[in-house]
Amino acid sequence: MSVIAYLKQQCGWSKGIREVLAKCGIEYEEKQIHIAENFEEMVEKTGQTMQPCVQLSENLMLVDVSGEELLEYLIENGYHSMETDLSIPLNAPCTEEEHRQQKRQFIPVRDTSFRGF
């Protein structure tokens, strides 16, 4: 299985994930969660809605992870530290402009609430 990264188009944390995967030479499939089926797939696999999420193997998913945390995990598990571009933060929130762009996107979420009345 290849690595899958569930990311937003414009997001500080997503940028950090992309940077780490690129600098470590890890090929991955990016699934953008503004696409409903990708979002639902991520939620189904993780049981939660926070991102970024990085699936490193069939049985291993890093959930709501920053680029900094991903890099730490990779180093602790045998990947050698690689220099990253310091102009790209690995653990940063979205900018105000990125938040405005995200508000323009609609992510339909399946209603799984209990209606017992």
| pLDDT at res. 98 | 60
115 versus 63: which is more confidently predicted?
Answer: 63
What's the CA gap between 110 and 70, in Å, rounded?
29
What's the CA gap between 12 and 16, in Å, rounded?
6
Q: Per residue in 1-43, pLDDT tens?
A: 689 999 998 888 899 999 999 988 899 999 999 999 999 999 9
Long-range (24+ apart) CB contacts under 8 A made by 102-106 are: 102/8, 102/10, 102/11, 102/34, 105/34
Q: Per residue in 63-86, pLDDT tens?
A: 999 999 999 899 888 876 555 554
| CATH tag for 3-103 (out of 3.30.1510.10, 1.10.10.60, 3.40.50.720, 3.40.30.10) | 3.40.30.10
Tell me the β-bridge partners of 5.
Answer: 30, 54
How many residues are present in the chain?
A: 117
